[in-house]
Structure 1
Amino acid sequence: MWKSLLFSLYTLGIHAGNLFLFIGHYFSEKINLLYQGRQNTIKKCKNPSNLSEVVWIHCASLGEFEQGRPLIEEIKKDYPATKILLSFFSPSGYEIRKTYPFADEVIYLPSDLPCNAERLIHHYQPKSLILVKYEFWWNLIRATQSHHIPIYAISAIFRPKDYFFKPILYPFKMLLSGFECLFIQDQQSAQVLNHHKISNYQMVGDTRIDRVISLSQISDVPKKIIDFIQDRTTVIYGSIWNEDISVINTMVTTFPDFCHIIAPHDISSGHIETLRKNILFTSSLYSDEYPDKQLLIINNIGILASLYKVADYVYIGGGFGAGIHNILEPAVHGIPVFFGPQHKKFNEAVELVQSDSAFAITKPEEMTNQIQQWQQQPDVLNTIAAQLQNYFGSNQGATQKIIRHLGTILEKT
């Protein structure tokens, strides 16, 4: 009785969200992209499909895609006949990766109504569904399990306070027990699952480790960046928000001879204009033919990962707001990475801070003081580099562990 009522209430909440989306798409470009994208997916499901028996991989956004990406590319390498359906919840994922060459089709995931789940399953006839990190859409999971389609979660993290572990929401927790396997990142997740008597898991680590190691070996630094740096000590500020500007201003004031390169999270013209107004120093844009100012602002997408190759120090944004962005991409190069206090939900940040391999700050002066100390003790930087090398070396391999488990399904293609 309660199970049926819970799913009815959950579905009612999804309907309410759809109403908000319908109204909001008239006023917000981003909401309109999501609304139209979902409508397009539903239209596709009304026509004959060119794909069937797909391996369906779902990601919330771009960050989760980077966790799913090594698995997708390994599947295509080892099982080239396998058809991959890639779905996104967020426009920031779909719009950037809609032409991703290793997926046979890329779609927006429609809202989590039972009818939409049935449409997708009937249209694409998935052999398996792989959810990245914590994308738990309960009507989709319920429908997929009712069709006896195996479901997996990869790079998953579970915490004691996750809402679906509340006693009143036990029907959601029971769906987790129906997964073929939960591939989790850490020991804490294992302890949480054991506490709730969920045993269908394997601790394999984070697939992003495999991705950033691979990316560090293939990314080339643009010549324009090399010319701009001119052998100066270089600081890269990655995924910057307005809350991070005080860090930049303090750093440039303290180290005016350093090369400072800023990569905003939002590269829209309005945001970059605001950024330039709030920074106390003159700046060039990457799109300028000959950038020659004290600071360089990257106003395009796709080169940030390569910039870390030439960095001496890195600051990652978001830590003075909602939460930090990707710290693994710079850390794999063995360089000190700084970020703000909002990092406790990110396992890699917590682990690296505990080992003095990455550095959380609560005010800008903590970063400048630390760098000044290192200039007097350069051997410390070698120790940090060695610790980071050990971290990545001991945590790689999650992708291959998952592939081995999926082998029987993939071989049926």
Structure 2
Amino acid sequence: MMLLYTIGVRLYFVAIYLASLFNQKAGQWINGRKQQKFIRIDSCIWFHFASLGEFEQGRPILEALRARHPGKKLVISFFSPSGYEVRKNTPLADFVYYLPLDTKKNATQFIEAIQPEMAVFTKYEYWYHFFNQLHKRQIPLYIVSGIFRPKQIFFKWYGGLHRKILSFVTYFFLQDEASKQLLQGIGVTNAVVSGDTRFDRVWANAQQPKEIPGIAEFKNGHKVFIAGSTWPPDEALLATLPALYPDWKFIFAPHEIGEEKINNLIGLLPAATTARYSELNTSENLKSQISNLKSIVIDNIGMLSSLYAYADIAYIGGGFGVGIHNTLEAAAFGLPVIFGPNYQKFNEAKQLIALRAGFSLSNANELKGIVETLIGDEAFYSVTSKKAAEFVKEHVGATEMILGQIDS
């Protein structure tokens, strides 16, 4: 099994390398790892995140440990460029790296360089050699906001190597009881249901949102529909809404902001009343006419979690692909959330639907029906908004529980 694992890791690298010849993100994945050099330090707390979403998920613990131990060095690693490129200069860490490819040599060199006294991985990413090296050195390894599903390889007859990876973990802090039961079924008992630290993060953000220049002027007393982390299939549906609801304003924050992606999205919207966000800062004419715009397309990363403060209804993208993005950021502001059909892997989405604070759709007619109900029935909207915010508030507290065990 180790041979197959090694071959799989190598084949993954080859696939990314070939993709890097024509894909910018793959190029960043390769070049970022090739160019980085690890600075040797005496001791640190090491946080690893797959991408930007996991960074935000683990951020409450990161911030708390930073505040409790101001003299301690913190190291962050990312697997994906979408996390590294956005947070490579974060003041929350002393060093930010791409996680090297999972080989014994890479894991040994990385861990010997940063000398972690503990390692915290958020939600998932289970790498044999990194976990094994931590285990051999008796360095505590914690999984926070962990979640497991029956179809994962850990629970298959052929998943012996991956079950061994789990054995290297000091403690699991899980999102739900179902995950705990799955682990117990394969003999893993060093786990507790602590909840999801994303609730702590998004609730704190909703209490003190950042002001986004120009957005209040754009809103100008109108209701705002925001579409966050969208992909082309989402945008093809949503582009019909501005014409149907002329009294509303629309903010589109696509998941990918490459020039072609932005231009394609803008091409779906009424040209005379649509602008890129970056243009608001460079065009004096647009600044003077901003209140007359109907749609803004956000062409940068990092603003979305604060943009929800200006909105009244949110659509969360990804549901026509592998799965929806973060619904909790919007729900924390009391926004009803709408998303596509692929949400089954996300407990919070299922819970929001059960509360009638979240709504799933499969086509344009369903989108129109949901929006008309939310816009046309003020009493229903009010109840839905309240339920969304209360759902988030009721689930805060995971961070304190985790800190009580790893930093006692």
What is residue 302 of structure 1 aligned with on the other side? 302
Greater shift, 344-353 or 375-384, is seen at 375-384
What is residue 139 of structure 1 aligned with on the other side? 129
Within 5 Å, give how 1:201-220 maps onto structure 2: 201-220=191-210
How much has 1:76 moved relative to structure 2?
0.7
Q: Distance in 2 between matches of 1:73 and 1:107?
A: 18
Cα–Cα, structure 1 residues 114 and 223, in superposed 2: closer, same or farther, change >3 Å? closer
What is residue 25 of structure 2 aligned with on the other side? 30
Q: Find the partner of 1:228 among 218, 221, 227.
A: 218
Within 5 Å, give how 1:65-76 maps onto structure 2: 65-76=55-66
Q: Find the partner of 1:170 among 148, 160, 173.
A: 160
Q: Distance in 2 between matches of 1:223 and 1:123?
A: 42
Greater shift, 142-151 or 214-223, is seen at 214-223
SS in structure 2 of the partner of residue 167 of structure 1: coil
Greater shift, 100-109 or 125-134, is seen at 125-134
What is residue 284 of structure 1 aligned with on the other side? 275
Q: Distance in 1 between matches of 2:252 and 2:15?
A: 35
Within 5 Å, give how 1:241-260 maps onto structure 2: 241-260=231-250
Q: Distance in 1 between matches of 2:246 and 2:254?
A: 20
Describe the superposition over 1:236-257 as per-residue Cα deviations: whole angstroms up to 9, x where unpaired: 1111211012322332232122
Letter in 2 for 1:319: G
Q: Is the 8 A contact 1:248 1:279 kept in 2?
A: no
After TM superposition, what 4+ stretches of structure 1 lie above 6 angstroms from structure 2?
none
How much has 1:376 moved relative to structure 2?
4.2
Describe the superposition over 1:45-66 as per-residue Cα deviations: whole angstroms up to 9, x where unpaired: xxx61x2221111111111111
Letter in 2 for 1:266: E
Describe the superposition over 1:203-245 as per-residue Cα deviations: whole angstroms up to 9, x where unpaired: 1111111111111122233341111111112111111211012
What is residue 154 of structure 1 aligned with on the other side? 144
SS in structure 1 of the partner of residue 239 of structure 2: helix
Describe the superposition over 1:96-149 as per-residue Cα deviations: whole angstroms up to 9, x where unpaired: 100010111000011000111111121111111111111111121122212211
What is residue 60 of structure 1 aligned with on the other side? 50
Normalising to structure 1: TM-score of the pair?
0.92
Letter in 2 for 1:327: T
Cα–Cα, structure 1 residues 254 and 24, in superposed 2: closer, same or farther, change >3 Å? closer
Normalising to structure 2: TM-score of the pair?
0.93
Q: Is the 8 A contact 1:250 1:365 kept in 2?
A: no
Describe the superposition over 1:241-285 as per-residue Cα deviations: whole angstroms up to 9, x where unpaired: 110123223322321221111111112221111112233564112
How much has 1:375 moved relative to structure 2?
4.1
Q: Distance in 2 between matches of 1:101 and 1:372?
A: 43
Within 5 Å, give how 1:70-109 maps onto structure 2: 70-109=60-99
Aligned length: 398
What is residue 257 of structure 2 aligned with on the other side? 267
Q: Where does the alignment leave 5 or more consecutive residues of structure 2 unmatched?
A: none
What is the aligned-residue identity percentage?
36
What is residue 8 of structure 2 aligned with on the other side? 13
Q: Distance in 2 between matches of 1:27 and 1:272?
A: 19
Letter in 2 for 1:398: A
The alignment status of 1:395 with 2:395, answered yes or no, reads: yes
Q: Distance in 1 between matches of 2:100 and 2:32?
A: 8
Q: Is the 8 A contact 1:152 1:183 kept in 2?
A: yes
What is residue 406 of structure 1 aligned with on the other side? 406
What is residue 115 of structure 1 aligned with on the other side? 105
Q: Is the 8 A contact 2:127 2:165 kept in 1?
A: no
What is residue 341 of structure 1 aligned with on the other side? 341
Q: Distance in 1 between matches of 2:276 and 2:20?
A: 32
Letter in 2 for 1:212: V
What is residue 316 of structure 1 aligned with on the other side? 316
Let me know the Cα RMSD of the aligned residues. 1.8
Q: Distance in 2 between matches of 1:393 and 1:110?
A: 37
